[in-house]
C-alpha cells in the first residue's frame, strides 16, 4: 500500500510505516500527480481535497488529522467510494489553552482582571464547550451562542449572537467554516456586527479566518482603534493581510491547536480509521506515541496572587507571545506567506496544560481549585 502523508503530520512513519510505503509531501504541494498511485492520503488543513485531486487516482481512503473539514469535498469522495475520516476534538484542549493564555496575556498588558470579564462563546462544540467548562470552573461568566445546538436541544442556555455582542466583554469565535445554509458562518462577524461592538471589546478568532470579515475588522482597528483583536486564523492564509496582522494585539499563524498532544491525537485517530478501512489490525495505542513532557511539575509556595499563579503556570507550559513574535519576525524576514507557513512547519514543541503537575505547598492551597479549573493537574505537598 502507498500512503501519501503531509510532511507536517508527526509520527507518520511510526504509525503508517508498518502498513505500507509512506511518501511525505508538503501539504501545499500535494496534487493529482502526487496521489495518482496512492491508496491512502493523510492530510492536515492546508490541502484542498476535491474532485480534481482524486479523479485520476486509485485512492480508497482520505484522512485529515484535524478537527476542521472545510478543505475536504466529502461528497466528491463519497461519490467515488473513497473512505473519509477526520479527527474530531483532537486538538480542542490545545485551542482552549491558547485562548486562556492569550486572554491572560492581554489582561496583564491592558491591566484588567480576566476573572471579572464576561466571555461570549460562539460555536459551543468540542472547543467552545471545553472552553466554557474551564472558564466557568474558574468563576468567569460565559454566554453561549450556537444556533444549530439550540435548534436541536432547545434554547435554554443559548443566546443570539447579537445578544452576546451587547453583553460580553470578550467574544471568542470557535465555529467551523460553513459556506451555505441557514447556519452559514462565512463572515458571521460581518461589518455590521463589527461596527456594533462596544468600545473595549476583545474579539478572538480561533475558528476559521473566513468566519470574520477581516477588512471590516481592520477598518475598525485602524479607525476608531477602540477594540482589541486576538487572531489565530485569517482570510487568505498563508498570504494574510499584513496590516491586520500588525493591528492585532496577538497575531499567530493558525497554531492554536498545535500542541504535540493534539497533533498526535490527530495522527492516531487517522491511523485507526485507515486500518479499519483496509481491514488491518491497529496495534499502536496513543500512549505509544506520546513522549514525556520536558517540564513535568513545578511547586508553588505562598506569595502569588491567583492571576500571577495562573499566568506563571500557563507560561511554563505555553507562552503565546513566542508565536506572536515568530509570525512578525518571519513575515518580515521571508515575506508573509512564506513566513506564515515556516512558523507552522517549524513549530516548536508545545505540550498541553494537563501535562503539568502543579504541586502546592500549604501556603498556596487556595490556588488548588482555580488551577485545576484552568486545566493543570494539582497536588498538595508539605
Ligand X SMILES: O=C(O)C(=O)[C@H](O)COP(=O)(O)O
Ligand Y SMILES: NC(=O)C1=CN([C@@H]2O[C@H](COP(=O)(O)OP(=O)(O)OC[C@H]3O[C@@H](n4cnc5c(N)ncnc54)[C@H](O)[C@@H]3O)[C@@H](O)[C@H]2O)C=CC1
Site for ligand X in 52-81 (CB under 6 A): 66-68
How many positions of this chain bind ligand Y (CB under 6 A)? 34
Pick from 168, 221, 162, 171: nearest CA to 192: 162
As a whole number of angstroms, the distance between CA 226 and CA 243 comes to 16
73 is in an annotated binding site: no
Does position 257 interact with ligand Y (CB under 6 A)? The reply is yes
Name which of 46 and 140 has its Cβ closer to ligand X. Answer: 46
Name which of 206 and 371 has its Cβ closer to ligand X. Answer: 206
257 is in an annotated binding site: yes
Pick from 45, 91, 33: nearest CA to 70: 45
- CA dist 177 → 147, 242, 262, 362 (Å): 14, 22, 20, 47
70 is in an annotated binding site: no
Helix/strand number for the chain, H first, E second = 17, 14
- Residue 46 contact, options ligand Y, ligand X, none, Cβ 5-8 Å cut-off depending on partner type: ligand X
Helices 92-110 and 320-334 pack at an angle, to 10 degrees, of: 90
- Residue 185 contact, options ligand Y, ligand X, none, Cβ 5-8 Å cut-off depending on partner type: ligand Y
366 DSSP assignment: G
- CA dist 123 → 171, 183, 232, 329, 334 (Å): 11, 11, 16, 32, 35
Site for ligand X in 32-51 (CB under 6 A): 44-46
| Residue from 64, 126, 259, 275 binding ligand Y (CB under 6 A) | 126
Active-site residue (options: 208, 220, 260, 344): 208
Name which of 154 and 199 has its Cβ closer to ligand Y. Answer: 154
Q: For residue 259, what is its C-alpha cell? A: 500542541
Does position 47 interact with ligand Y (CB under 6 A)? The reply is no
Contacts of 306 (CB under 8 A, 6+ apart): 115, 366, 367, 370
Site for ligand X in 105-134 (CB under 6 A): none
341 is in an annotated binding site: no
Q: Locate cell 477594540: which residue?
A: 227
Does position 266 interact with ligand Y (CB under 6 A)? The reply is no
CB of 61 to ligand X, least distance (A): 19
H/E element holding 120?
Answer: strand 118-122
How many positions of this chain bind ligand X (CB under 6 A)? 11
Which residue lies nearest ligand Y, judged by its C-beta?
A: 125
239 is in an annotated binding site: no
236 is catalytic: no
| Residue from 15, 25, 127, 138 binding ligand Y (CB under 6 A) | 127
Does position 124 interact with ligand Y (CB under 6 A)? The reply is yes
- Residue 57 contact, options ligand X, ligand Y, none, Cβ 5-8 Å cut-off depending on partner type: none
- Residue 126 contact, options ligand Y, ligand X, none, Cβ 5-8 Å cut-off depending on partner type: ligand Y
Provide the edge-to-edge strand list for the sheet that holds 2-6.
21-25, 2-6, 40-43, 61-64, 83-85
- Residue 207 contact, options ligand Y, ligand X, none, Cβ 5-8 Å cut-off depending on partner type: ligand Y
CB of 283 to ligand Y, least distance (A): 28
Residue 23: exposed, middle, or buried by beta-carbon count in 10 A (0-12, 13-18, 19+)?
Answer: middle
Active-site residue (options: 218, 254, 268, 351): 254
Q: Could you write out the DSSP letters of every residue in 215-282? A: HHHHHHHHTT--SEEEES--TTTTS--HHHHHH-SEE-SS-TT--HHHHHHHHHHHHHHHHHHTT---
254 is catalytic: yes
Q: For residue 62, what is its C-alpha cell? A: 482520505
Name which of 94 and 309 has its Cβ closer to ligand Y. Answer: 94
- Residue 89 contact, options ligand X, ligand Y, none, Cβ 5-8 Å cut-off depending on partner type: ligand Y
Q: Locate cell 475588522: which residue?
A: 217
By annotation, the residues acting in catalysis are 208, 237, 254
Q: Which residues are annotated as a binding site?
A: 45, 66, 146, 175, 232, 257
Note the residues at the interface with ligand X (CB under 6 A): 8, 44-46, 66-68, 91, 254, 257, 344
As annotated, the binding site for substrate includes 45, 66
Amino acid at each position: 500500500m502507498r500512503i501519501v502523508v503531509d510532511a507536517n503530520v508527526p509520527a507518520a512513519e511510526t504509525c503508517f510505516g508498518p502498513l505500507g510505503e509512506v511518501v511525505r509531501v508538503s501539504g501545499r504541494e500535494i496534487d493529482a500527480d502526487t496521489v495518482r498511485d496512492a491508496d491512502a492520503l493523510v492530510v492536515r488543513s492546508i490541502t484542498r481535497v476535491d474532485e480534481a485531486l482524486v479523479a485520476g487516482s486509485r485512492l480508497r481512503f482520505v484522512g485529515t488529522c484535524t478537527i476542521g473539514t472545510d478543505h475536504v469535498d466529502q461528497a466528491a469522495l463519497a461519490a467515488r467510494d473513497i473512505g473519509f475520516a477526520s479527527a474530531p476534538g483532537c486538538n480542542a484542549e490545545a485551542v482552549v489553552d491558547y485562548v486562556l493564555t492569550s486572554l491572560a496575556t492581554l489582561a496583564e498588558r491592558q491591566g484588567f482582571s480576566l476573572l471579572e470579564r464576561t466571555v461570549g462563546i460562539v460555536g459551543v462544540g468540542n472547543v467552545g464547550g471545553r472552553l466554557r467548562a474551564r472558564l466557568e470552573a474558574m468563576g468567569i461568566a460565559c454566554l453561549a451562542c450556537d444556533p444549530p445546538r439550540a435548534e436541536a436541544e432547545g434554547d435554554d442556555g443559548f443566546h443570539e449572537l447579537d445578544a452576546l455582542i451587547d453583553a460580553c466583554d470578550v467574544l471568542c469565535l470557535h465555529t467551523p467554516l460553513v459556506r451555505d445554509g441557514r447556519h452559514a458562518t462565512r463572515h458571521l462577524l460581518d461589518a455590521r456586527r463589527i461596527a456594533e461592538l462596544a468600545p473595549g471589546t476583545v474579539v478572538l478568532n480561533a475558528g476559521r479566518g473566513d468566519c470574520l470579515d477581516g477588512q471590516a475588522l481592520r477598518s475598525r482597528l485602524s479607525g476608531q482603534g477602540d477594540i482589541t483583536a486576538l487572531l489565530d486564523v485569517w482570510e487568505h492564509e498563508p498570504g494574510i493581510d499584513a496590516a491586520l496582522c500588525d493591528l492585532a494585539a496577538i497575531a499567530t499563524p493558525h497554531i492554536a491547536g498545535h500542541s504535540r498532544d493534539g497533533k498526535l491525537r490527530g495522527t492516531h485517530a487517522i491511523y485507526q480509521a485507515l486500518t479499519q478501512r483496509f481491514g488491518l489490525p491497529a496495534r499502536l495505542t496513543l500512549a505509544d506515541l506520546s513522549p514525556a513532557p520536558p517540564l513535568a511539575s513545578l511547586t508553588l509556595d505562598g506569595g502569588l496572587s491567583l492571576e500571577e499563579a495562573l499566568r506563571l503556570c500557563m507560561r511554563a507550559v505555553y507562552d503565546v507571545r513566542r508565536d506572536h513574535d515568530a509570525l512578525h519576525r518571519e513575515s518580515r524576514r521571508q515575506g508573509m506567506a512564506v513566513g506564515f507557513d515556516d512558523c507552522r512547519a517549524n513549530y516548536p514543541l508545545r505540550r498541553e496544560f494537563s501535562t503539568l503537575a502543579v504541586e502546592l505547598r500549604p501556603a498556596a492551597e487556595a490556588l488548588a481549585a482555580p488551577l485545576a479549573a484552568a486545566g493543570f493537574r494539582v497536588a498538595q505537598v508539605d
